[in-house]
Structure 1
Amino acid sequence: MSRFLNDVPRWILIAFWIAGNIGMFVYAYLKYKNGIEYYYLRVLIGDALCWARASAACLNLNCMLILIPVCRNLLSFLRGSLKLGCTKTIRRQLDKHITFHRYIAYMICLHTVIHIGAHVFNVERMFVAHEGISLTSPDKVKELQSALSILDDRSTAQTYVNPVRDSSESPSLFALKSLAGVSGIIVTLALILMVSSSTEVIRRSYFEVFWFTHHLFAIFFIGICIHGLQGIVRSQTNIDVHDPEFCHDKPDQWNQIPECPIPQFAGSSPGTWQWVIGPMALYFLERCIRFFRSQQKVIITKVVKHPSNVFELQMKKKGFKMGPGQYIFLHCPKLSYFEWHPFTLTSAPDDDYFSVHIRRVGNWTNDLAKACHVDEVEFKETWKQPRVAVDGPFGTATEDIFSYEVDIFVAAGIGVTPFASVLKHIWYAKHTTNAADMKLKKVYFFWICPDMHAFEWLHDLLKYYDRQMAETGSTDFLKYFVYLTRGWDRNLAKAIVLHDEEIYDPITGLHQKTHYGRPNWDQIMPSIAKDHPRTKIGVFFCGPKVLSSTLHKACNQHSIAGDTVFYYNKENF
């Protein structure tokens, strides 16, 4: 049951996409394999023509699709619209937009390899045909290839089919002199740089490299649009008066018998632009919205330095509205005119400001901390803070937190940031006049940290919940579990044992005790399922991929059809 809910919708979507690629490939392959207008071109270069054109058709399809998953404003609009009449299962597929973007990029790489490989054979065979050399074909085929290759457009009665006009030059020089060759090389280099700089290591350690190289997409799309302008692939235009299946064995009689006039050819008109113009327009609109937002005034009202190299920016912007756990893109022109970096909002929609917590892990975040005077003791007035721009907010899976009776939040390290916002918003909603109508009745919060210092900046919020739950008598509404995976020694272990009987945890100072090691989901999930029979439970995760995979499998494994079901949701941005 849960496997169907968590995985199968994504598999169905991917299956439709793969089927579309297969269908497009087969259709184009058969078109160029059997199309009579390409008969003479196939004589020259064989089946490599079919492979090149079929892969080109799939490239058109995927280049059309690849921009849509990164149109974040469009996706946020769709997420909001789908709430009106669609199930959570359909909406949750929008959370996979970056994953789908990667899949499409991999498919583009695959078809690019096929396309380039096929055209390498095509160019070589065009030169061979021009020279009248054939090691495998009978003499009649060699004669036909030679007759086709000497056709030219110097006379109004002839048009060429073999684009190689000078057989004395090298194939490499021919490629470099043609628009298709030059644009193809540029497009391929841009694709290699974009894909290679998108690896996890580059994005995490050298975000600026990823950011700038990914903007080569503009060159990529211009290149693919002009790639076919030269019309190197040429089809016969007079098949109504010159039947190639009848005339192919009579090249010496062309233009001498009425049935076989000189065959006429014309280059195929470029069609890639027709595929990509719509998504390009959508993305252009996306960037226009970003530019408009970048001109709107954002005021940094407060800067707070937290432990563990984390600092908080509290900001205000006219008309800014957010949902729980959403994220924004932050831009500081003083540091870079082009760079926008994503950060999860840690404030609640009910606050009179919006905030982000930023960990200083790279050049940009360290430079931003310096620009905001984070390390200075004296408070700096608002007018002394750098100008920043904000794009967003954008929706995430956490928008569905109130759609379940029970929520499980799992955060690893700094992945706790979206849940700071979510917990604030839930607590506010529970204590409003509409609390009785709230579907959500129970929240479990698991925070997995690599060292005890990572706990510190969230202490105040969790301590606040400790006090509020005690005062309001709602201690059962929120249960949180802090896991320390490393960072303790023998002395600390002794201190933990000595203070184990105390009310508050000796490490965090919280009412609920810290656990040491990693959570055992095979024990936790059945226990929660037992406490909440016949319940739909939303599991929301933000953290590394390895833990995500483990938690995803646990949700599938411990769901029971017709009983308790765990719906897995992962933060992606």
Structure 2
Amino acid sequence: MALSLRSWVANEGSKNILLVVWLTVNAVVFWRTFALYSYGPQYHYLHQILGMGLCVSRASASLLNLNCCLVLLPMCRSLLTHLRGTHKVWARSGRRLLDQSRSFHSACGTAICVFSVIHVSAHLVNAISFSVKFSDEFPSLNMAQYRGQDPRIIILTTVPGVTGVLMVVILFLMFTASTHCIRMSSYEVFWYTHNLFILFYVILMVHAVGGALKYQTNLDTHTPGCMPTNHSSAEDTSTNQERELEDWQQREPICREEAQFQSHFPETWLWVLVPLCVYCTERVCRYIRSRTPVTIVTVLSHPCDVIEVRMLKDGFKAKPGQYVLLNCPSVSSFENHPFTLTMCPTEKKRTFGIHLRVVGDWTERFSQLLFPEVSSGDHILPMMQQRNFPKVCVDGPFGSPSEEVFGYEQSVLIWEG
């Protein structure tokens, strides 16, 4: 029992600690934002109109900002590979934690979808509240133009509403195309829809510019709920009413000026700018690196529709267990598929290789370019025929859990047939 517990802590402990920390941060951010919009005096009048819809919509928006900030970092492959390589900084448990980057990316993506549903639902309620509870006392606070305005008009004629609808459509496409069945049956659909994240982030930063929700700016001269000055100058009040008015004035301060409101400064870009710049910078560097010419040296056809490709690239260095992203413009200009390196360059031999199995549309088209006329048995194309090979681009290498294979006394190889 103790041995199994130690094994669980060694293998799963760091992952679960990270999960607890992530959930705790989400809970704290949600509650702090919820409390701010519930009890903050600057939102007193807006809360009177929207009620709980205001608190839920803003709290879920804060979690969307947080997770949109985090979701890109696990996809910075070069950064993670560098961290994995710094063995003096990262212990084995830390490197094992990096192996969960894809799972963390999926968790953040799921959180974005869940809180988007909550955020959209709350704002639908807010649109109805703006129409039904139209404030005649503070016209500038209303998102509706008049009492009883169709909530659909409020949504479809404002910047937050239109951009919100567009982001919902993009998220729906990305989420559905990320499911296992679609990703396995049609990787192209997953790839193209997932790259809509660039458009999503652009719209996300525009979404907050509309300034649908406003806060009070003059709290020092207009205490929320204070009595207007015109009430104190009424001449037709009775003696009892005057006494009641004096008692009220002692309890409630008199407004020195009308309440003034303004929209928040857009803060979404503050959340996503740094990770977006890090990710875009890495993608640019990777694109430049992958443009270095790659020479296909040898292609071998093995049984069970397995193809071995041996290549040569200047300056390419890799460790056993790492993987590369392979791109073939003749098949698809934008698709990059990961393949584990089965042969790494050495000081004496600079070639490296991968094994791929023909199981999908991309690999099938790629194999047809490698073997225009496939024959039975092992097939070897010598170097003199390399001019007939298609152009390929290699991005990487990137770190993977397989790098740790030489750090253990015993290793277990499991073959899935």
Q: TM-score, normalised by structure 2?
A: 0.89
Counterpart Cα distance in 2 of 1:120 and 1:99: 32
Aligned to 2:271: 275
The letter of the residue matching 2:400 is: T
Q: Distance in 1 between matches of 2:410 and 2:284?
A: 40
Change in Cα spacing, 1:307 to 1:186, as seen in structure 2 (3 Å) is same
1:179 Cα offset (Å) = 0.5
**Equivalent position of 2:137 in the other structure:** 147
Q: 1:361 aligns with which of 359, 368, 380?
A: 359
Retained in 1: the 8 A contact 2:38–2:55?
A: yes
> Could you tell me which residue of structure 2 aligns to residue 185 of structure 1?
165
CA distance in 2, matches of 1:292, 1:213: 24
Seq. identity, %: 37
Distance 1:273 1:309, change over 3 A: same
What is the correspondence of 1:57-68 to structure 2 with a 5 Å cutoff? 57-68=62-73
Q: Which amino acid aligns with 1:207?
A: Y
8 Å Cα contact 1:326-1:393 kept in structure 2: yes
Partner of 1:176: 156
1:45 is aligned to 50
**Aligned mates of 1:127, 1:391 — CA distance in 2:** 54
Match of 2:84 among 79, 87, 90: 79
* Residues in 1 aligned to 2:294 and 2:191: alpha-carbon distance in whole angstroms: 23
1:103 aligns with 2:107: yes
Residues 389/254 of structure 1: CA separation in 2 closer, same or farther (3 Å cut): farther
1:6-59 superposed Cα distances (whole Å, 9 cap, x missing partner): 112111000000000000000101111111000000011112101110111111
Listed one character per residue, the Cα deviations across residues 124-156 of structure 1 (whole Å, up to 9, x for unaligned) are 0110012xxxxxxxxxxxxxx4323xx2xxxxx
Is the alpha carbon distance of 1:255 and 1:309 closer, same or farther for their aligned partners in structure 2, counting shifts above 3 Å? farther
Change (3 A) 1:260 1:163: farther
Cα distance in 1, alignment partners of residues 211 and 9 from structure 2: 48
Matches of 1:279 and 1:357 in 2, distance apart? 34
Structure 2, gaps ≥5 residues long: 1-5, 235-252
| Counterpart-to-counterpart distance in 2, 1:315 and 1:27 | 55
1:404 aligns with 2:408: yes
Q: Offset at 1:262?
A: 1.5
Q: CA RMSD in A?
A: 2.0
C-alpha distance in structure 2 between counterparts of 1:240 and 1:171, whole Å: 34
Aligned to 1:324, the other structure's residue is in SS state coil
In the superposition, relative to structure 1, how do residues 254 and 47 fare at CA in structure 2: closer, same or farther (>3 Å)? farther
- Matches of 2:48 and 2:214, distance apart in 1: 13
SS of 1:410's partner is coil
* 1:320 and 2:325 are equivalent in the alignment: no
Residues 502-537 of structure 1: CA deviation (Å, up to 9, x unaligned): xxxxxxxxxxxxxxxxxxxxxxxxxxxxxxxxxxxx
**Helix, strand or coil at the partner of 1:278:** helix
Instruction: Determine the structure 1 residue equivalent to 2:246.
Output: none
Aligned equivalent of 1:70: 75
Which residue of 200, 224, 233 corresponds with 2:180?
200
How far did residue 252 of structure 1 move? 6.8
Q: Deviations over 1:347-376 (max 9, x none)?
A: 144453111111111111111111112644
Q: Write out aligned runs for 1:46-445 (5 A).
A: 46-81=51-86, 83-130=87-134, 145-148=135-138, 151=139, 160-167=140-147, 169-247=149-227, 250=228, 253=231, 259-350=255-346, 351-373=349-371, 375-376=373-374, 379=381, 381-412=385-416
**Alpha-carbon distance in 1 for matches of 2:25, 2:233:** 44
How far does the alpha carbon of each residue in 1:425-479 deviate from its partner, in whole angstroms, 9 at most, with x for none? xxxxxxxxxxxxxxxxxxxxxxxx3xxxxxxxxxxxxxxxxxxxxxxxxxxxxxx
CA drift of 1:87 comes to: 2.0
- Report how far residue 401 of structure 1 moved: 1.9
SS of 1:288's equivalent in the other structure is helix
Contact kept, 8 Å, 2:131 with 2:149, in 1: the verdict is: no
Code of the residue aligned with 2:62 in structure 1: it is A
C-alpha distance in 2, partners of 1:275/1:32? Answer: 20
For 2:175 and 2:280, the matched residues in 1 are separated by 22
2: CA distance between counterparts of 1:288 and 1:354?
24
- Cα pair 1:32 1:53 within 8 Å, conserved: yes
Residues 33, 58 of structure 2: 8 Å contact kept: yes
Q: CA offsets per residue over residues 365-414 of structure 1, 9 Å max, x none?
A: 111111112644694711111111000010111212222222223232xx
**Which AA in structure 2 matches 1:56?**
A
346 and 221 in structure 1: CA distance in 2 versus 1, 3 angstrom threshold: same
- How many residues align? The count is 386
Change (3 A) 1:197 1:301: same
CA contact (8 A) 2:84 2:90 kept: no
